[in-house]
Structure 1
Amino acid sequence: MPRAHERTTIINTLPQLPPARLHIGGWIENSHNAEVRDPADTRNIVASAPRATRAQAIEAVQVAVRGSLEWRAVPAIQRGEVIRRASEIIAERAEQLAVAATLEMGKPIAESRGEAARAVEHARYFSTVGREAQGYTANLNEPDAQAFTLRSPIGVVSVITPWNFPIMIPNWKIAPALAHGNSVILKPAEVSPVTATLLVQCYLDAGVPASALSLLIGKSSEIGDVLLTAPEIAGVTFTGSTEVGRKISATAVGLGKRVQAEMGGKNALVIMDDANLDKALEAVMVGGFGTSGQRCTSSSRILVHEAVFEEVQRRLTEAVGQLRVGHGLTAGINAGPLASESALEDVMQGLERAVADGATVVAGGSRAEDSDLANGWFLQPTLLTGPATGAAFSEEIFGPIVSLHSIKDIDEAIRLNNEVEYGLSASIYTSNLEAANRFIFETDTGMVHVNRPTVGAEPHLPFGGSKASAIGPSELGAAHQFFTKTRSAHVRWKF
């Protein structure tokens, strides 16, 4: 198998993507278009995207207010049928969505196809929530009376999403928001506007009213404050960096709005001396280098028992060197580019800080600049070793960089897992039941895995973290906690 730095064959003809568009009560065109460039070869302009104005953002809020009243009046089970139709349309258009995602942000097409499939699964799950019990009955201390609780939509929701999962993350926010009767204004990352356009089209074609789902593409500096501060906005759900999430929370919560922010991670995967090493190393490669490390749940810290450390390092060094770097639409590629020039610069600076703090590069460690890759934002998949301190250990370096650290026992594994400011996901590979259960109960992360990778999102389970990784309720299986408000009714039927 070719090494990471060896030449790969780049496809000759790229598919043509449709233009990205704004949707505010209907599809509209903007004259202020921006180029969308292929991150694997920036000479290729793969699409054009409009930039919404502040006035259009204000208009979208007013449209969403009308949409909220219209959509919440639709019975919940009927809303679920619309979401179910959306899941079917997403499945029918999965290849178009996957190609758009790969061309816009660079991940290998196999990953984009998997993302589209997960979006179908998530939408299908949320199509059923209208059939679930929505509350409970309770007694009152008086005759001929009863109380019960019910859930109601919160109203207009701003959905602000990143570029790393341009199909799945917008979808897992849109689907529950709509299923619970809210209207949505989606602001996707500027990197992935076409994917967002195609996804919104799926929901509109399924029967979501045009007023209930808006799409704003543009710069946060121009339209972001409207989505946070407009009095009609009831809630803001965001996925992105901890720094931005905290700023959003400070602004929106201060105005009395709900905030759900899924933020950064510095996730540990622990390999004990009794682990199945084949499975553990497979999890490191999937969790650490999938999506070129651009996942909040990436396995960026590998805590390895000292008895197997040398073997793990040797085998991982070999596996990292076998990764094929190249254009995501090229057959056999399993490592794509970083999503943007700024993303690459940030990761390179993080790598420099890690080395300055004492980390040693054992594989990769520089830009991939083979002639086929020189025009893209590529970084060689990188493996580091070093002390459990410094940037490699504690900073979220959002790229294909994994660091190995030696540990003595389960006590040290738990302590090191908990030492960082983040608390999103963690995993342990072990055959020891006591160690596994201690890890589950003593680690401070929102999600914990045993003999599974740190990555993954099940629609029926909560997705979220603790500490610097999250603000507000979790997503997916806990979505109702954010998208609905609980009310109580007190009824006397006899006077």
Structure 2
Amino acid sequence: MSDKYSSKWNFMWIFGQKVTLPVTVAVRNPATGEVTGHVPKGGQAETTLAIEAAWRSFPQWSRMPAKDRAVYLLDWADRILDNREELAALLTQEQGKPLAEARGEIEGAAEFVRWYAEEGKRAYGELIPASRPRQRILVMRQPVGVAGLITPWNFPAAMVTRKAAPALAAGCTVVLKPAKQTPQIAVALFQHLMDTGIPAGVANLVTGDAVAIGGALLSDPRVRKISFTGSTEVGKNLMRQAADQVKRLSLELGGNAPVIVFPDADLDKAANAIVSNKFENCGQVCNGINVIYVHKEIAGPLTEKIVTLVKRLKIGNGMDPEVTMGPLIDETARAKVEAYVADAVEKGARVRTGGYRLETGGCQFGSFYAPTVLEGVTREMALTREEVFGPVAPVVEFESEEEVLAYSNETSFGLAAYFFTRDTSRVFRMAEGLEFGMVAVNGTSLSVPQAPFGGIKESGTGREGGHHGLEDYMEYKYVALTLE
């Protein structure tokens, strides 16, 4: 790999300055196994410095009028879009997703910044009718303080702005820790933020030791808010640690999303939407479909349509413009997918397509797995109860609306659910009955800046997107005023 990629983003951001360290962490392309770059191996000391910078910058930033904060955010969005091709290439090289998906993610990241630049101006307070003469009751909304942001590797650009944009728009200052697998895109995005001239210390970024960085964010009382996207297991651990200081948390955790297709659905529309969702980012999507519930009357025709579409996917290095699905993030992820498929086959599932590692034809150096469709799947198989997070589409047949609703709700997760029907009454019954934070009807796309993204049960707490996402970074202050 050229020096361009090995050294360009080898720094952190603390108090508006680039910080390098003698010890670094290598970043590898999951499609080739090659090193694409290095980042500093920061830890507790660097995180504490970043927290200090954010804490010292908070008074100035929080008191700045929202319209002035918006100027920096709008400039940031423009710079992201102006550099979308370079950013998309960087994203593909360290994460593996196809270049077209990476470009869409960069554009989506800019859209979140632009939306919150405007929404920050609408953090309205309230004037509540008083209980007695000469009394006035006011409710103010104020930024919570320093926010620690922890982002995942599957959408490493979009998740930076989905967290940083509302935090900054609300008047918070931030310390961001990107995932160890995909830190360079976060560093690059912060480069464009710094280029806006944003005051030093408002936005800080630390790469390196996840345990040390996370521990420092959780133990320091100056950090009043943590926003984390990742596994439920880690999220539960963060909740335990945050309890010591009653630190505010937003958690977007694991999912087990069902898609339900009823007999009256448009099967072509359903098949296309299911494949688009299920195999995006090689199936590594928190709100991605995990189980396909199909009514027994249409199971055969719909499965055939899905298999046909899956066989058309082109697998390989995401830098190839013809590739439509890249690799899994690493070998551990591939082994996990293999284990789920093996368990299902052992218990009677039939492989319609895929079901094996890809290790030839340009895929021999990366963590590739063939896009897979399984039929004859039963609910005793592990992949119906646990999050696969890979390119495997298990098809389960059902007979009644009541039955499939019960099946879907049995999971401890509650992030997203999807269903297809033309029956208006069923739309309301299912939308109200599904125990998930987000439900899509006759489609499988959910992430937009203006809507609250998040789950219930063990899929997390808090929301990203909409005015709800801004409120997650603000406190309510009640003021009781008696006029003299």
Question: 1:372 is matched by which residue type in structure 2?
Answer: G
Give 1:220 shift: 1.3
- Distance in 2, matches of 1:14 and 1:273, equals 56
Give 1:433 shift: 0.8
Aligned residue number for residue 325 of structure 1: 315
Q: Which residue of the other structure, out of 427, 432, 437, is the alignment partner of 1:446?
A: 437
- Secondary structure of the residue aligned to 2:250 is strand
Q: Which residue of the other structure, out of 215, 224, 235, is the alignment partner of 2:205?
A: 215
Question: 2:331 is matched by which residue type in structure 1?
Answer: E
Give 1:343 shift: 2.1
Sort the Cα spacing of 1:232 and 1:13 in 2 relative to 1 into closer, same or farther, 3 A: closer
Q: Deviations over 1:243-275 (max 9, x none)?
A: 111111111133210011100111111111111
- Distance in 2, matches of 1:310 and 1:77, equals 56
Give 1:133 shift: 4.9
State whether structure 2 residue 74 is matched by structure 1 residue 70.
Answer: no
State whether structure 2 residue 378 is matched by structure 1 residue 364.
Answer: no
Residues 13-52 of structure 1 mapped to structure 2, 5 A cutoff = 16=5, 18-25=8-15, 26-42=17-33, 44-52=34-42
Aligned residue number for residue 129 of structure 2: 139
Give 1:14 shift: 11
State whether structure 2 residue 246 is matched by structure 1 residue 251.
Answer: no
State whether structure 2 residue 315 is matched by structure 1 residue 309.
Answer: no
Aligned residue number for residue 463 of structure 2: 474
CA contact (8 A) 2:454 2:463 kept: yes
- Secondary structure of the residue aligned to 2:357 is coil
The TM-score normalised by the length of structure 2 is 0.96
Aligned residue number for residue 259 of structure 2: 269
Aligned residue number for residue 4 of structure 1: none
Aligned residue number for residue 338 of structure 2: 348
- Distance in 1, matches of 2:39 and 2:103, equals 23
Give 1:13 shift: 9.1
Question: 1:39 is matched by which residue type in structure 2?
Answer: P
Give 1:20 shift: 3.2
CA contact (8 A) 1:266 1:422 kept: yes
Q: Which residue of the other structure, out of 434, 458, 461, is the alignment partner of 2:451?
A: 461
CA RMSD between the two structures: 1.7
Sort the Cα spacing of 1:369 and 1:437 in 2 relative to 1 into closer, same or farther, 3 A: same
- Secondary structure of the residue aligned to 2:254 is coil
CA contact (8 A) 2:272 2:306 kept: no
Sort the Cα spacing of 1:322 and 1:130 in 2 relative to 1 into closer, same or farther, 3 A: closer
With 73-82 and 338-347 compared, the bigger mean Cα shift is at 338-347
Aligned residue number for residue 158 of structure 1: 148
- Secondary structure of the residue aligned to 1:428 is strand
Give 1:327 shift: 0.3
Question: 2:453 is matched by which residue type in structure 1?
Answer: F
State whether structure 2 residue 305 is matched by structure 1 residue 289.
Answer: no
- Secondary structure of the residue aligned to 2:292 is strand
Sort the Cα spacing of 1:198 and 1:395 in 2 relative to 1 into closer, same or farther, 3 A: same
- Distance in 2, matches of 1:130 and 1:380, equals 44
State whether structure 2 residue 179 is matched by structure 1 residue 200.
Answer: no
CA contact (8 A) 2:177 2:213 kept: no
Aligned residue number for residue 172 of structure 1: 162
Aligned residue number for residue 118 of structure 1: 108
Q: Which residue of the other structure, out of 363, 378, 388, is the alignment partner of 1:387?
A: 378
Aligned residue number for residue 231 of structure 2: 241
Question: 2:256 is matched by which residue type in structure 1?
Answer: K
Question: 2:311 is matched by which residue type in structure 1?
Answer: G
Q: Structure 1 regions of 5+ residues with no counterpart?
A: 1-11
CA contact (8 A) 2:452 2:465 kept: yes
Give 1:389 shift: 2.8
CA contact (8 A) 1:52 1:217 kept: yes
With 133-142 and 402-411 compared, the bigger mean Cα shift is at 133-142
- Distance in 2, matches of 1:318 and 1:192, equals 33
Give 1:96 shift: 1.5
CA contact (8 A) 2:25 2:208 kept: no
- Distance in 1, matches of 2:212 and 2:243, equals 20
Give 1:15 shift: 7.5
